[in-house]
Amino acid sequence: MNTILWTLAPPLPISKHLAEFANQWKLISKGERFYKNIKVTGWWLFTGVEELIFLLDEHSRNKVKQTYDENVKFLHPKGKGLTPVLFVPEMGVVNHNYIDDALREKLLKEGVAVVEGWKGALALCYANFNSFAIHGCQGGPSLLEFMEKKSIPREGIKDIFADTDVLWNPNVTKAYSKLALELPSAEISVFPPATFLNPEGGINYRKDSPDDWIEEGFTKEIVYEKTTKINIQIITQQQIKIQTYVTEKRIKKEMDLDMVHTLREFFEENLFFLPRLNDYYVFNKETCLWNHLDLEELTYFCLNKFEERNWPFSPLQQGIKSASACAVLSWKALQKLFSSKHFIGFENGCWNIKKRQFEPLRKEHYLLSTLPFKYEPLHTGHIMEAAPTICQWLADRVNGSELLTNVLSAALFACILKIEYPERFLFLTGHSATGKSTFFLLLNSLLSVETVYTVSAEDFACDFGLEDLASGPQKSVIIFHDIGRSVTNHFINILRTLVSSTGETTQKRVRRKHKLTWKNKN
């Protein structure tokens, strides 16, 4: 039979010494069977039970690949997991019906090795190991069930010879980890690759099993010498680290693409970007107002708006820089949009001056702020009837002078209506307790807090005064408290520039030149 085995074509895909050892115990026989509609040829592998494993020869494997585009190496009964195959050097493959107490005692005393494949177990048996073939790394549960059924003690399992891919395949490593927990007496060993890199210069991802490296004449001692015991927990941790890095990179790339796409869709309809000034004007749907933000503020705005995306701060900031290119606008075009004099915003809507009607706030109103109170229609249109207390208080401050009362009233209306280019600034003078501070409190109560800039004359005239004015939301009123009896020429020149309809400032950081300016002079 030895002669017949080695004259068959194609040859058996195992080493000659292993084939001779298998033939000695009559473990392999040539045969044929059908796979779907194709007749295939190969070898029947004895398993110790009725269910045999059929090993396809190379010719049949190629035929299946060409016909069905499937990689098939073994054929075996489907359904439940295959029963483990027990190899014993003096017996070959053990018939499961003949496992008795003497054999159990022998296995416990000498120990048993576990390996994935039938050929691997054959190779270990050749090297004088008792061995179990568990039919793949996922065969652990079937092995444990079989051992319990046959009363084989788990303490008898001393070695697990894993295929080399346990070092780099997380699924294989996980399966061996579970098996090792159930077999505390066993140590996991592997035949390490001879080199870290393969001949092509890539990482050497080999998948060697014992039948690939057990040579003729190998003994137990040589097997232990050639293999290395591994710490499956450390291998798992290293794989998790690599897998986490790769996954994070992939997720980050996917997240970045999704982030930029999502932001671009939002920015195209709701953002204006001034690249030279690094200013962003974004529409806030909740308030129906446009918010003037810097990059950091816009990042927090987007973190809140897209909270369910869980975007990290720094990547989001980079995404904003990429996506905002679709919203670039010039300063002149932006001024044209936001300098409309047709709308007065209230907390509950917007008064359309041109149409003389009250309407809901809309994006197209291009409002940066609203007045800090609600609009309620009155039957009378006269200010004396609508706000008699305020009107009387203003008149009392100027001793009933109609001219001065009209000046103060006009100033309040100019602030509310955001009248530009006044070419005037108002000084309120007088002793203490004459109403100057109260007038400013009244003015503040009539305006949105974001539109008022309150500062001392000294701070405003310093090198960074205009820069501070330019930062944050757009201001329409500047208030100076207690400027004293004298001011510097530099301070006066800045005021002239701000209120002039033609003046040009040399401070490049100032974007909002035309303000109403108020002073409280003692």
Instruction: Give the span between the Cα atoms of 154 and 252, in whole angstroms.
Output: 46
Length of the chain: 522
User: Is the CB of residue 263 less than 8 Å from the CB of residue 321?
Assistant: no
| Token representation of residue 414 | 């100019």
Q: Give CA 102 to chain center in angstroms.
A: 60
Most confident of 72-81, 180-189, 501-510: 180-189
Instruction: Give the span between the Cα atoms of 306 and 291, in whole angstroms.
Output: 17
- pLDDT surpasses 50 at 189: yes
Which pLDDT does position 513 carry in this prediction? 39
- pLDDT surpasses 50 at 247: yes
Mean per-residue pLDDT for 447-472? 74
Which pLDDT does position 256 carry in this prediction? 76
**Which fold does the domain 80-230 belong to in CATH?**
Dna Topoisomerase Vi A Subunit; Chain: A, domain 2 (3.40.1360)
**Residue ranges covered by each domain of the chain:** 1-78, 80-230, 241-338, 383-521
Give backbone dihedrals phi and psi of 397, rounded to 5 degrees, phi first. Answer: -70, -25
Closest of 274, 296, 295 to residue 509, by C-alpha: 274
Mean per-residue pLDDT for 302-327? 90
Quick one: three-class SS letters along 46-68?
CCCCCCCEEEECHHHHHHHHHHH
Mean per-residue pLDDT for 440-463? 80
Q: Is the dihedral of CA 392, 397, 402, 405 positive or negative?
A: negative
Quick one: three-class SS letters along 16-33?
HHHHHHHHHCCCEEEEEE
Residue-wise pLDDT for 39-97, tens only, equals: 999 999 999 988 789 999 999 999 999 999 999 988 887 755 689 999 999 999 999 99
Q: Which residues lie closer than 8 Å to 221 by C-beta, 6 or more apart?
A: none
Which pLDDT does position 188 carry in this prediction? 96
Residue-wise pLDDT for 329-358, tens only, equals: 998 888 888 876 788 889 999 988 888 899
Looking at 296-305, 379-388, 461-470, 472-481, which range is the least confident one?
A: 461-470
Looking at 133-147, 193-207, 242-256, 303-317, which range is the least confident one?
A: 242-256
Closest of 189, 213, 193 to residue 202, by C-alpha: 193
Instruction: Give the span between the Cα atoms of 413 and 446, in whole angstroms.
Output: 10
| Token representation of residue 46 | 């004895």
Which pLDDT does position 14 carry in this prediction? 85
Mean per-residue pLDDT for 499-511? 46
User: Is the CB of residue 498 less than 8 Å from the CB of residue 480?
Assistant: no
Mean per-residue pLDDT for 164-168? 91
User: Pick the residue with more confidence: 9 or 467?
Assistant: 467
pLDDT-derived band at 500, boundaries 50, 70, 90: low
Which pLDDT does position 255 carry in this prediction? 67
Closest of 369, 348, 371, 370 to residue 291, by C-alpha: 369
**Continuous H helices in 271-363:** 295-305, 313-323, 331-338
User: Pick the residue with more confidence: 522 or 380?
Assistant: 380
Which pLDDT does position 475 carry in this prediction? 76
| Token representation of residue 461 | 């005239």
Which pLDDT does position 3 carry in this prediction? 36
Instruction: Give the span between the Cα atoms of 29 and 494, in whole angstroms.
Output: 104
Mean per-residue pLDDT for 242-249? 72
User: Pick the residue with more confidence: 518 or 65?
Assistant: 65
Give backbone dihedrals phi and psi of 509, rounded to 5 degrees, phi first. Answer: -75, -15
pLDDT-derived band at 514, boundaries 50, 70, 90: very low
Which pLDDT does position 463 carry in this prediction? 64
- pLDDT surpasses 50 at 2: no
Instruction: Give the span between the Cα atoms of 185 and 131, in whole angstroms.
Output: 15
- pLDDT surpasses 90 at 238: no
Looking at 108-112, 511-515, 518-522, which range is the least confident one?
A: 511-515
Q: Which residues lie closer than 8 Å to 28 by C-beta, 6 or more apart?
A: 5, 12, 19, 22, 43, 44, 45, 46
Which pLDDT does position 201 carry in this prediction? 75
SS3 state of residue 295: helix
Q: Is the pTM of this model over 0.85?
A: no
pLDDT-derived band at 414, boundaries 50, 70, 90: confident
Which pLDDT does position 129 carry in this prediction? 97
Which pLDDT does position 423 carry in this prediction? 63
| Residue in this structure with the two tokens 């016909």, named with its chain if needed | 67
Which pLDDT does position 81 carry in this prediction? 66
Which pLDDT does position 4 carry in this prediction? 36
Looking at 119-133, 274-288, 368-382, which range is the least confident one?
A: 368-382
User: Is the CB of residue 174 less than 8 Å from the CB of residue 138?
Assistant: no
| Token representation of residue 217 | 């004449």
SS3 state of residue 129: coil
What is the four-CA torsion angle of 63, 64, 70, 72, rounded to 10 degrees? Answer: -110
pLDDT-derived band at 468, boundaries 50, 70, 90: low
Q: How many CA atoms lie within 13 A of 46 on its CB side?
A: 18
Task: Let me know if the fold of 80-230 is the same as that of 383-521.
Answer: no
User: Is the CB of residue 186 less than 8 Å from the CB of residue 180?
Assistant: yes
- Report the CATH number of the 383-521 domain: 3.40.50
Instruction: Give the span between the Cα atoms of 415 and 477, in whole angstroms.
Output: 7
On average, the pLDDT of the chain sits at 84
Which pLDDT does position 251 carry in this prediction? 64
- Distances in Å between the alpha carbon of 464 and those of 151, 211, 467? 88, 81, 5
Mean per-residue pLDDT for 501-506? 44
- Distances in Å between the alpha carbon of 122 and those of 36, 73, 130, 140, 208? 29, 17, 10, 18, 14
Which pLDDT does position 518 carry in this prediction? 52
